Amino acid sequence: MCGIAGIFHTRGAAPVDPARVETMCDAIVHRGPDGQGVWIAPGVGLGFRRLAIIDLAGSPQPMASADGRAMLVFNGEIYNFRELRAELSNTGAKFRTDGDGEVILAAWQRWGVDCLSRLHGMFAFALYDLDQRTLLLARDRLGVKPLHMATLADGSVIFGSELKQLL
């Protein structure tokens, strides 16, 4: 099932308390018994609870792009990831894992936000672009994989797979 969580400060690179992101992840421990990961940078924190389905040994999250310029937390499954991976490989993309999360990162770097129309599956993800200092929150067209978000009084955005993570 997996679950994601995070905080993004829209008004600058204010520090994110790792304990806050960990608490958001602890609230959904039932969604991912196979591991937890938290990544913090100035102004952003991403968290993940893992239930391994594809690439059982690999694909740890939060996951960095091959060039380290983007970070991803992802819940779901991209049904056409093998086809996208082959297409991206033909354009020079390099992959370190066999999972679909890395394909999302490469697709973002190749096609930008247009990558969303190419992703077929059920998913919710947060992708942070370190160069642009932007956060993309996305989910599948039908909302099969939930993604809840809220804007706080200080302008920060918090998000998670379950509503209780935002409380």
| CATH code of the domain covering residue 67 | 3.60.20.10
Q: How many domains does the chain have?
A: 1
Which tokens in the block code for residue 69? 């310029």
Residue 113, helix vs strand vs coil: helix
For CA atoms 102, 104, 105, 109, the dihedral sign is: positive
Average confidence (pLDDT) over 89-104: 93
Tens-digit pLDDT profile for residues 99-125: 899 999 999 999 999 999 999 999 999
pLDDT of residue 57: 57
User: Which residue range(s) make up the domain with 113?
Assistant: 3-166
Helix and strand counts by DSSP (H, E) for the chain: 3, 9
pTM of this structure: 0.93
- pLDDT bracket for residue 32 (50, 70, 90): confident
Tens-digit pLDDT profile for residues 39-68: 999 999 999 998 766 555 566 899 999 999
Active site residues: 2
